[in-house]
């Protein structure tokens, strides 16, 4: 029992079950070092849905790797999902050299790494014998935080200068604090430095939940925290916007407990983030049809102080009610 949480207890979630984790899992990659993965999954059961998780770029050395977001991946795995975490090319501890093509952002390489994982699940399962044959490859979600949310958005159908990166094997998406519109919405220096942020969300049609922190500071743009909600407003596939109250980019500690990335350590908000994202994933992947509704009911009741869900994409001035 976590004695630091209060309101989040009212958001229903399954009891935790034993998990098994494999690391390092190595996938050979052409003209570079192998891709290093972590796979965490339930110790028992079959037809387990898969979540492919893309880490952000944060200031720590180890959080931006497959060692980051460990408690989030563990939470999901304890409750029925198999989570695969790559160490991306951008990682300080295990990524590509700073003089490699595409440095320092390696945004194309990050997408290629995620696609390689989906294309080579046989090789991954061969290195994880306790999990082999138990994964359901027809139920795959992509999820990511911050720059990982950007990577995820491309896999879900967002386009850069008309280029399509969608992976048809992914049926659901979870974008956590993903960057919003680029180009004119950025400061001039960031528009020049980050031209690949000029993303077209209108082609993102995969079923998606967008998550933002109410107090997030988008230093790339003069806009406020609403910048991180652009994917919800612009993409036909984004079905809901989940706004976590009183927290910023770290969502209370999503990347790591007591980490540099956690500008506000908020155990109740963090637990709510875990429970709500799990509920979305379980419903979107067909593991529990009513999980997301039950979570929403809790937010309309005793868990109200923690978050709000928006499904109406019209401007606030045109909505009815409070």
With respect to residue 322, please indicate whether it lies within any of the assigned structural domains: no
Residue identified by tokens 């209060």 is 6
Contacts of 314 (CB under 8 A, 6+ apart): none
236: left (phi over 0), alpha (psi -120 to 50) or beta: alpha
With respect to residue 321, please indicate whether it lies within any of the assigned structural domains: no
Residue 199's DSSP bridge partners are: 160
Please tell me the predicted confidence (pLDDT) of residue 320.
45
Q: For residue 258, name the pLDDT band (cuts at 50, 70, 90).
A: confident
With respect to residue 230, please indicate whether it lies within any of the assigned structural domains: yes
Average pLDDT of the chain, as a whole number: 95
**CA atoms of 91 and 107, how far apart (whole Å):** 12
With respect to residue 320, please indicate whether it lies within any of the assigned structural domains: no
Please tell me the predicted confidence (pLDDT) of residue 129.
97
Number of domains in the chain: 1
With respect to residue 183, please indicate whether it lies within any of the assigned structural domains: yes
pTM of the model: 0.96
**CA atoms of 106 and 66, how far apart (whole Å):** 17
**What are the pLDDT digits (tens) for 83-92?**
999 999 999 9
**What are the pLDDT digits (tens) for 108-132?**
999 999 999 999 999 999 999 999 9
21's enclosing H/E stretch is: strand 19-27
With respect to residue 319, please indicate whether it lies within any of the assigned structural domains: no
* % of the chain residues with pLDDT over 90: 93
- Most distant CA pair in the chain, distance: 57
Domain with 243 in it: what CATH number?
A: 3.40.50.1820
Please tell me the predicted confidence (pLDDT) of residue 322.
37
Considering only residues 319 and 35, tell me which one the structure prediction assigns the higher pLDDT. Answer: 35
Pairing of strands 199-200, 238-244: unpaired
**CA atoms of 124 and 210, how far apart (whole Å):** 29
Q: Which domain holds residue 177?
A: 7-313
With respect to residue 285, please indicate whether it lies within any of the assigned structural domains: yes
Q: For residue 317, name the pLDDT band (cuts at 50, 70, 90).
A: very low
With respect to residue 132, please indicate whether it lies within any of the assigned structural domains: yes
**What are the pLDDT digits (tens) for 266-310?**
999 999 999 999 999 999 999 999 999 999 999 999 999 999 999
N- to C-terminal Cα separation, the chain = 36
Q: Does position 259 have pLDDT exceeding 90, yes or no? A: no
Q: Does position 263 have pLDDT exceeding 90, yes or no? A: no
Pairing of strands 172-176, 207-213: parallel
């Amino acid at each position: 029992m976590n004695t630091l949480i209060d309101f989040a207890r009212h958001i229903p979630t399954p009891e935790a079950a034993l998990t098994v984790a494999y690391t390092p899992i190595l996938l050979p990659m052409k003209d570079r070092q192998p891709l290093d993965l972590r796979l965490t999954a339930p110790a028992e059961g079959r037809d387990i849905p898969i979540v492919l998780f893309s880490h952000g770029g944060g200031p720590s050395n180890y959080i931006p790797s497959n060692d980051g977001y460990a408690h989030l991946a563990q939470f999901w795995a304890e409750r029925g999902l198999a989570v695969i975490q790559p160490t991306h090319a951008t990682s300080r501890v295990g990524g590509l050299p700073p003089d490699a093509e595409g440095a320092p952002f390696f945004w194309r390489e990050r997408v290629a790494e995620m696609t390689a994982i989906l294309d080579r699940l046989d090789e991954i399962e061969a290195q994880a014998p306790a999990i082999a044959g138990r994964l359901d490859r027809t139920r795959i979600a992509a999820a990511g935080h911050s720059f990982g949310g950007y990577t995820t958005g491309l896999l879900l159908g967002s386009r850069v200068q008309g280029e399509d990166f969608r992976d048809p094997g992914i049926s659901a998406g979870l974008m956590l604090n993903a960057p919003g519109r680029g180009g004119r919405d950025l400061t001039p220096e960031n528009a020049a430095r980050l031209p690949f942020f000029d993303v077209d969300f209108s082609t993102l049609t995969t079923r998606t939940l967008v998550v933002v922190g109410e107090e997030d500071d988008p230093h790339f743009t003069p806009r406020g925290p609403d910048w991180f909600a652009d994917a919800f407003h612009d993409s036909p596939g984004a079905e809901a916007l989940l706004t976590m109250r009183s927290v910023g980019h770290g969502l209370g500690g999503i990347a790591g407990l007591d980490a540099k990335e956690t500008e506000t350590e908020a155990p109740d908000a963090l637990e709510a983030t875990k429970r709500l994202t799990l509920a979305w994933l379980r419903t979107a992947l067909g593991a529990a049809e009513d999980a997301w509704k039950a979570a929403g009911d809790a937010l309309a009741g005793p868990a109200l102080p923690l978050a709000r869900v928006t499904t109406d994409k019209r401007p606030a001035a045109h909505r009815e009610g409070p």
